[in-house]
Structure 1
């Protein structure tokens, strides 16, 4: 860059401006290209974790133009669907194992479609969920959700398209849009060992959720535990293994979805066979009437 500027300085005025301008354009292109390559490379997926899902005879994995779909049976009007936005710079297939856990935990046939976002950034595909729903018109009930930044984008999409969905699912994420009067059932799953999320902003943002939103905190699960992409910088240490973390996330999400969100209106403790216990606990500021649950790992 400096060399180009030096050459430009020795040229006549118009040519000097042209060369200097070209150098700036080249510099911006290099920086932009580097940033694009950085995000496009992404984190994950854990190939073994994805392969384990593909080897499961009870789970079907379909790769499409809009993302990767995970289901446990034929898609019909009784199927509950979840459009899922990945976290920033995380390869979307990193959430295939989590999607499989959600499907397995649901009492209904479930379909989870993890959106394939450009450059692994959900902000570049905020309305791709529309294309997912168009691809599966037979699905009777839809939810939209995501992890981290993907969850925030899901919230924004839901705020503008509330009539298209029954529910919103937040994984280690929070809403910066007011959906308190949207009519949506809302589930927010948090990791007790999450070192990445801004905890203060998450608590404050609960005012944007409906009063009966279900807030679940999973002990021993960190930020990266919501997917299969390896450790994440700045994250807290997880006491649960990656497999156990995804199982806990999948159980909390799948059981809630299979109940059609009805559980959000009850704060009664509920036992899930072989999956641990849900217990009601006060965990700080929240929307009036909402329940905060802690799930032991």
Structure 2
């Protein structure tokens, strides 16, 4: 058999086949990028309600959105917040508004590359630098964002005071980190691996504050609509965000 025989594809045919495979690969990668980049939410009505409120201030920064109730001073408690996978970071503005209302608390919600916190694990650095007056910082997040916030906290515990987990858990041991930890879970969460979350509680300090909210599902931590695989609940979405935000804000202020 020789390369010139009919049983061997010519170079042009091979070239076309390779080009086709490269094109298909590029389309798959590009499609995946668009899928994550578009993101879920935010619910525009919920966001508009916050921005029209006189109780809180929403400030757009380079790569983040900050929500606060008043001027930021050395007495303000700061929370850098990482969004869940494929969720637009501004979907958490309404929940943050509930946390800061009436409290000397500022929440800085980080915009992640392709809406994936795993691609920007250290973006809390820039968020903290944006408010140099704040002396007491916590990091936290929702779902995958909470897991990445835990990793950041484990690596930077000496620079932080707290860690907030929303429908999430730690895969790093922070039990002896000296951090204050709040873990808020939804009793109707159909997305989180509940067994793994329970097992991972051993990674938290013995005095970690654990809160389970009835009538709250996985999507109830933000304003981005229903999530595939989640449990349906009769609780109004705004009421879920209020419960999550109030539990979080009270803990931060305390």
Q: Which category describes the TM-score, using the shorter chain as reference length? A: over 0.9
* Alpha-carbon distance in 1 for matches of 2:162, 2:128: 14
Structure 2 regions of 5+ residues with no counterpart? Answer: 1-6
- Paired residues for 1:37-116 under 5 Å: 37-104=34-101, 106=103, 109-116=104-111
User: Is the counterpart of residue 34 in structure 1 residue 31 in structure 2?
Assistant: yes
* Alpha-carbon distance in 2 for matches of 1:70, 1:233: 28
Alpha-carbon RMSD across the aligned residues, in angstroms, is: 1.4
DSSP 3-state at the match of 2:169: coil
Q: Contact between 1:105 and 1:250, CA under 8 Å: does it hold in 2? A: no
Counterpart in the other structure of 2:214? 219
Structure 1 regions of 5+ residues with no counterpart? Answer: 1-8, 260-297
* Alpha-carbon distance in 2 for matches of 1:236, 1:112: 28
TM-score when scaled to structure 2? 0.94
Q: Contact between 2:87 and 2:224, CA under 8 Å: does it hold in 1? A: yes
* Alpha-carbon distance in 2 for matches of 1:22, 1:187: 52
CA drift of 1:110 comes to: 1.1
- Paired residues for 1:58-207 under 5 Å: 58-104=55-101, 106=103, 109-207=104-202
Q: Contact between 1:159 and 1:182, CA under 8 Å: does it hold in 2? A: yes
1:254 to 246, 249, 252: 249
* Alpha-carbon distance in 1 for matches of 2:102, 2:69: 10
Counterpart in the other structure of 2:4? none
Q: Give CA-to-partner distance per residue, 1:155-191, whole Å, 9 cap, x none.
A: 0111111112100000000011111111111000000
CA drift of 1:20 comes to: 3.3
DSSP 3-state at the match of 2:25: helix
How many residues in Structure 1 have an aligned counterpart in Structure 2?
A: 248
Counterpart in the other structure of 2:3? none
TM-score when scaled to structure 1? 0.81
1:241 to 236, 241, 252: 236
DSSP 3-state at the match of 1:111: strand
